A and B are shown apart, each in its own frame.
Chain A
Amino acid sequence: AQRVTQPEKLLSVFKGAPVELKCNYSYSGSPELFWYVQYSRQRLQLLLRHISRESIKGFTADLNKGETSFHLKKPFAQEEDSAMYYCALHSGGYQKVTFGIGTKLQVIP
């Protein structure tokens, strides 16, 4: 069975401080990992996917197969980064998705 673990329900950081949102996964195949973001009262939307190796809004995430992790990082937090972040594992040609419980990021001015 595939599983996604986000150990922190809430992460509070000061503006300008580095951010790391943790995500670990369990999956027997080759994982496709994604990060989704949900701003206040909005629908979830894609933030980034590991296969693209891109930086979106200053966020990056590296897939570490040895540690089965896909942590989301940003060097300097901004107030507009305050949101709910979900790590997700896609399988079956991306079709089956398993979400973590989410981490609420609170950036303190």
Chain B
Amino acid sequence: NAGVTQTPKFRILKIGQSMTLQCAQDMNHNYMYWYRQDPGMGLKLIYYSVGAGITDKGEVPNGYNVSRSTTEDFPLRLELAAPSQTSVYFCASTGVRTEAFFGQGTRLTVV
């Protein structure tokens, strides 16, 4: 089973550039999440979704956008990259009576 797949693994962006972090899960989970993790720090919730077509803000949504057109996919969009968005990004999903499954992370550097 693939579980939660994130792409890319690494990316360097210039200030002001845009990019989309991809996240896909093949477990038919309803809930999906995007977190960022700054060096030596814990997880901060950016956005989450409780199902296709439904998304909501987490604690640090500024500078990001998401969409959930299908159950499987939950992309995270950075429109105008800033150095403060340098971080490791994790996507996760949860299903009925399961633990949370995480992707391998995307290490983003904005220069």
State the A residues within 8 Å of B (CB).
6, 9, 34, 36, 43-46, 49, 84, 86, 88, 90, 93-97, 99-102, 104
**Pick from A84, A93, A97, A104: contact of B100, CB under 8 Å:** A97
How many interface residues does B have (CB within 8 Å)?
A: 24
**Pick from A34, A93, A100, A102: contact of B99, CB under 8 Å:** A34
* Contact B42 A95, beta carbon cutoff 8 Å: no
* Contact B105 A43, beta carbon cutoff 8 Å: yes
Q: Knowing that A95-B31, A99-B45 touch, tell me 8 more A-B residue pairs with CB under 8 angstroms.
A: A43-B90, A46-B100, A86-B42, A90-B100, A94-B96, A97-B92, A97-B94, A99-B43
Which residues of chain A are within 8 angstroms of B42 by Cβ–Cβ distance?
6, 9, 84, 86, 99-102
Roughly how many angstroms separate A45 CA and B99 CA in the complex, as a whole number?
Answer: 9
* Contact A90 B94, beta carbon cutoff 8 Å: yes
Which residues of chain A are within 8 angstroms of B50 by Cβ–Cβ distance?
95-96
* Mask: chain B, 12-25; 1 = CB below 8 Å from A; 0 = not: 00000000000000
* Contact B97 A94, beta carbon cutoff 8 Å: yes
State the B residues within 8 Å of A (CB).
29-31, 33, 35, 40-43, 45, 50, 90, 92, 94-100, 102-105
Which residues of chain A are within 8 angstroms of B99 by Cβ–Cβ distance?
34, 36, 46, 49, 90, 94
* Contact B100 A88, beta carbon cutoff 8 Å: yes
Which residues of chain A are within 8 angstroms of B103 by Cβ–Cβ distance?
43
Tell which of B33, B43, B90, B103 has the most Cβ of chain A within 10 Å: B43
Roughly how many angstroms separate A101 CA and B33 CA in the complex, as a whole number?
Answer: 15
**Pick from A44, A96, A100, A101: contact of B90, CB under 8 Å:** A44
